[in-house]
Structure 1
């Protein structure tokens, strides 16, 4: 059993996660029916990697980054780019917990890199993972804190950091309720780099030693230039502006469709585009659109540019094309914010120069949301009905829309720099954990 912060509370926690393993296996089987990625390499979830020598040639060199799902992986992509600039020849060990995260992460791999599942947080699985790869440094993205994993790293002398760290009020309350487990785990992290002063204070409250506030990595995003160019070309041939409900969550599409029906002809001044957050919901959202009496045009069936704008609702049923959708749109309604789900990342839309209409629920990105509203790059709406009206008002006032687009670009420019700062902090953490080898020594050579 790992020795770091071994307490009765963690012993009880460890017993519970060990007993939960059959439930995890059953959950993976069920998820794999809709998302086959959950059926890939299942033994890795329990710390068993095949072949048995996988990753052994990079022991002591791996820069390990864990990005649990799609949003964290997109943030990790920004950090990986900065790390490769700072550490030429870096060998990346990339782990995930969700199928969408793993699929997105595969795009980040270079020759010599490895991608595997992060194991379930049992004592044996986390120990096997660390023994298998023995990273030079570990980086958890944003919110992922696992007590046994952190203990295994501490026992093995692997410095483990929490980067782009954020903690909303709800998560802080949960961590405080679980203080006998959470506080030692946060306290055992080798470094914590927070997104904002508010995040830093909450992290401090739950036991983390916050080293610095470095900002949000997502401000350094560089949207795919080919997608931006393609979308800009398509916009030249549109007869009316596009408004996208981006990264929509369950319940929000129905709210939008109901509002469009209520508005009738007034809603037809705009081409409506819905892009669900989760790919397993593409077909369900398509059915919602047709059941509501609207025509349906699916991105996956477009041949070349978008079809004629004849009243059909467009469905963005593809992965990895958010820059295309954002640039195609004049305004984005931000998914997750019109139901009490905390909101999705508005920064990607602003990086494409597309202003955002936010619903009332943005606790996942509270600081970025408030700053964007104050900067004139986003508008706050009370609910979906008001959000639709606010979006229509923007697209029907070219001067006002142009001002919002300029504010979005300026807002993004003013908040860049977290990626370079975080990459520098990771290199310093590696150097402080001498002896340095592999990627770090390549930097100093």
Structure 2
């Protein structure tokens, strides 16, 4: 009954959902494309693909090592990845241009999911991290499609939200074949919400199994020569509205003591590139957009407005700030700059990566700040002390290396749950 009311609310809210989609398409035209896929209107196929759902860029990047491993070990396995965002779609295309198909995931509407599953006929569904939907899970259960939640995480805040709708949450979790959690704390939250204990496995986070391409390091060195190899560089990745203003103000303050400091600014969402560009220009700063020109020694702000380059840009850093943490967004993945042996700094709002951030800080690879003044002070202390920066970076890289191995453990669970029937 609870799911019936949930579905009714979805149908009643559909005009608002479509209106929001139309508004987003004004800023990012890709939102207006392939809309039929969001209602399950896709081409039929008979190859029974492994369906992987990764809501956006972060989840796509997180699951990419598993997809790569599957392609290596199961060369005949068809793989379909769905996302909800165009940026996620673009990342799928850039990472796997030939062997993996991309579609937009249907909305959590019974008729859309029924149409989608009838035409796709997936052998199993892997959901990445937290993107669980009641009708999606129920529809798979009805069609005997195993559902595995991979690299699962559940913050205390999200758990409280799920608990408010236990009539929906408990049956949904009971219908999952397996939850492969990043850590015991998150796993315990799933169990407390209704997941059967025997359906939980803790493997660690596959985000530790980062492989830094040699080309990323080469491209970073080329870029550094363009703006001046000796210049100190602060890279701010995955930033959100409200953070860029703080970071540009920070740059102005830091340049009083480090005049040649360069800020590399990489907003999380492409539709905000132009707004951030204007924000920097309004302050009279010399801005260079990566998509338009090469930086020079006079560049003060280098705007990373291209997709798929964040890891390379982190490789140019003397200090890496990870966004979504100065505001109540919950923070983004600090392990990418850590794997590059870069000192990492974040704000206090890291509930999306609470366990990882706490452990990284205890290992000596992450600095956390709770005010603008503290952010300025810590940035200054690292940027003016190469030895401190090197120690922080070494500790960060060691932390990543010590925690690797979750990918193989996750693959074994996927093999047992999702690939039992190879026919």
- Shorter-chain TM range is over 0.9
Alignment of 1:95-244 (within 5 A): 95-109=82-96, 111=98, 113-209=100-196, 210-235=199-224, 237-244=228-235
- 2:23 alignment counterpart: 30
For residue 284 of structure 2, the aligned residue among 290, 293, 300 is 293
Q: Is 111-120 or 325-334 further displaced after alignment?
A: 111-120
Structure 1 unaligned regions, length at least 5: 1-7, 439-445
User: Distance in 1 between the 2:88 and 2:195 partners?
Assistant: 26
Which residue of 312, 333, 351 corresponds with 1:324?
A: 312
1:330 & 1:264 partners in 2: Cα distance?
A: 15
Aligned-pair CA distance for 1:383: 2.1
Instruction: Name the structure 2 match of 1:65.
Output: 52
Alignment partner, residue 271 of structure 1: 262
Q: 1:18 to 1:408 in 2, by over 3 A?
A: same
Q: Find the counterpart in structure 1 of residue 350 from structure 2.
A: 362
Q: In 1, distance between residues paired with 2:319 and 2:235?
A: 7
Q: How far is the alpha carbon of 1:232 from its aligned partner?
A: 2.9
Deviation of 1:263 after TM superposition, in Å, equals 4.8
Of 210, 235, 248 in structure 1, the residue corresponding to residue 239 of structure 2 is 248
TM-superposed CA distance for 1:269, in Å, is: 4.5
Contact 2:243 2:327 in 1 (8 A): yes
Write the distance in 1 (CA, Å) between the matches of 2:223 and 2:99.
Answer: 38
The answer to whether 1:260 aligns with 2:245 is no
Q: Deviations over 1:138-187 (max 9, x none)?
A: 10000011111101111101001111101111110010001111111112
SS of match in other structure, 1:161: strand
Q: Aligned in 2, Cα 1:386/1:178: closer, same or farther, shift over 3 Å?
A: same
Mapped to 2, the partners of 1:38 and 1:224 lie a distance apart of 31
Partners in 2 of 1:238 and 1:183 — Cα distance?
A: 55
The answer (yes or no) to whether the contact 1:242–1:328 under 8 Å persists in 2 is: yes
Give the TM-score taking structure 1 as reference length: 0.90
| Residue in 2 that maps onto 1:390 | 378
SS of equivalent to 1:354: coil
Structure 1 Cα separation of the partners of residues 281 and 388 of structure 2: 33
**What is the match of residue 3 of structure 1?**
none
Task: Check the 8 A contact 2:266/2:305 in 1, yes or no.
Answer: yes
1:14 is matched with which residue?
A: 7
Kindly state the Cα deviation for residue 111 of structure 1 after the two structures are TM-superposed.
Answer: 4.4
Correspondence for 1:47 among 35, 40, 48: 40
1:19-62 CA-partner distances (Å, limit 9, x unpaired) = 2222222222221121122122111111111x4x3xx2213xx1
* 2-structure distance, mates of 1:401, 1:109: 35
Change (3 A) 1:267 1:399: closer
Q: Following the alignment from structure 2 to structure 1, what is the Cα–Cα distance between the partners of residues 72 and 362?
A: 34
Which residue is equivalent to 1:379? 367
Q: Is the 8 A contact 2:348 2:369 kept in 1?
A: yes
Q: Is the alpha carbon distance of 1:431 and 1:243 closer, same or farther for their aligned partners in structure 2, counting shifts above 3 Å?
A: closer
Instruction: Report the more deviating stretch, 109-118 or 364-373.
Output: 109-118
Q: Secondary structure of 1:65's match?
A: strand
Deviation at 1:357, TM superposition (A): 0.6
**RMSD over aligned Cα atoms:** 1.7
Q: Partner residue of 1:437?
A: 422
Q: Is the 8 A contact 2:27 2:271 kept in 1?
A: yes
The answer as to whether partners of 2:343 and 2:390 remain within 8 angstroms in 1 is no
1:89 aligns with 2:82: no
Structure-2-length-normalised TM-score: 0.95
Secondary structure of 1:339's aligned partner: coil
Cα distance in 2 for partners of 1:369, 1:147 equals: 30
2:94·2:308 contact (CA, 8 Å) conserved in 1?
no
1:39/1:213 CA distance change after superposition, 3 Å: same
